[in-house]
Copies of this chain bind each other. A is one copy, B any other.
Amino acid sequence: MRRHNRTTLLRLLHVSGPSTRAMLATALGLNRSTIKTLVDGLAEAGVVEERVPRPGRGAGRPSLLVLPQPHAAVVLAVDLQVEHVAIALVGLGGQILGRNSWNLHGRTRTADEVITHVIESAAVLAGDLGVEPVAAGVSVPGVVRRADGYVHEAPNLRWTDVALGERLSSVLRIPILVGNDAELGAVAEHLRGAARGSSDAVYVSADVGVGGGVIAQGSSLRGGAGYVGEIGHMVIRPGGRACYCGSSGCWETEIGEAALCRALGLPEETPRGAILFELRELSRNPEEAASRLAEFAEWLTLGLVNVVNLLGPQLVVLGDLLTVLPESVLQPIAAEVRRRSLVSRAVGGTRIVSSALGADVKLLGAAEVAFEVVLDTV
């Protein structure tokens, strides 16, 4: 019981940041003397520190502030993207202590090469910072079995049947948690981003691939065998473009990076920087933006209507490329989804917002799934 309370308290500090003992007592429904015992124990172990807060306006002795100590537990976070790999060491409390990333644009990227590079870079980074990660989380843009980190298919990486979890853990000798990138994005937004406090939310991100993660009744939704769904392969345009997945007219073929390039009149292989430049330019002319991206916006809207009608979230968080769409394109979409979705109307109007965590969202999600298995051992 005491162990359980300790883990709960630590999770709260980790996710919500520094807090007074009084606030911790209220949030956990425990009495002050229990909180004192727990905090004293954690302080003795160097997991938290207590500090006098900056003097406020209130009368009386200020309550001590309890701060999680980042170095008390460090995890490795890995974000495998199609053209980019990022790693970070993340401390208790969610702070990124150090990071490293490299570009894969145009280079080969076999699973072997990427795995070797991740292991070497992680060792260098840990050495530089003088820390030892106690678990690792890995974000993969593909179909992943959560139980053992087996990557079934990551088509945009051209990976098939890679025992990623097993391979990393055999070298790193720490627990490895591998997740689908959109699922981890949803986890991060739920704990630290735009979906904080929302028990039913969907995170949709469009990059080269399109994916989605679902938070249902406060936790991450998974299907059979621990696989998460693939929102990007919802058929939205029957008879549309062939998709590598074996189907055609998938949402990914209509709102992924290549589709956005087509909508903008750019070649499909345009580098990300040039796409962002074009979108920024276009934002200066709202009417032109709305008209040039009208069809793109319609496919985005249709898919969102389906996501809302199937899952009934209160909130949809848009990530990656969807966050840089011009306002004149994004704005009408929420109203249109509400108009066309009877479930949105029922839940009082599903809100549609942009990601609050930017490019780090999947890295932070990867860190969080690693912390899940770490906090009760700190």
CB proximity to B under 8 Å, residues A224-251:
224-225, 227-231, 233-238, 245-247
Interface-side segment among A85-93, A286-294, A340-348: A340-348
Contact A310 B231 (CB under 8 A): yes
| Total copies of the chain | 2
Among B145, B246, B346, contact of A340 (Cβ-Cβ < 8 Å) = B246
Decide yes or no: A339 and B246 within 8 Å by CB, A216-B221, A309-B229, A346-B153 being known contacts.
yes
Q: How far, in Å, is A179 (CB) from chain B's closest CB?
A: 14
Contact A236 B238 (CB under 8 A): yes
CB proximity to B under 8 Å, residues A282-329:
298, 302, 305-307, 309-315
Contact B311 A223 (CB under 8 A): yes
Contact A312 B217 (CB under 8 A): no
CB proximity to B under 8 Å, residues A343-357:
343, 345-348, 350
Chain A residues at the B interface, C-beta cutoff of 8 Å: 143, 145, 152-153, 155, 199-200, 212, 216-217, 221-225, 227-231, 233-238, 245-247, 298, 302, 305-307, 309-315, 339-343, 345-348, 350
In the bound assembly, the distance between CA atoms of A229 and B310 in angstroms comes to: 4
Q: How far, in Å, is A248 (CB) from chain B's closest CB?
A: 8
Among B224, B231, B345, B348, contact of A200 (Cβ-Cβ < 8 Å) = B224
Chain B positions within 8 Å of A345 at CB level? 152-153
Contact B246 A306 (CB under 8 A): no
Chain B positions within 8 Å of A223 at CB level? 200, 216, 311-314, 343, 347
11 pairs, A vs B, C-beta closer than 8 Å? A200-B224, A217-B222, A223-B313, A223-B314, A225-B314, A229-B310, A230-B343, A231-B309, A234-B306, A245-B342, A246-B341
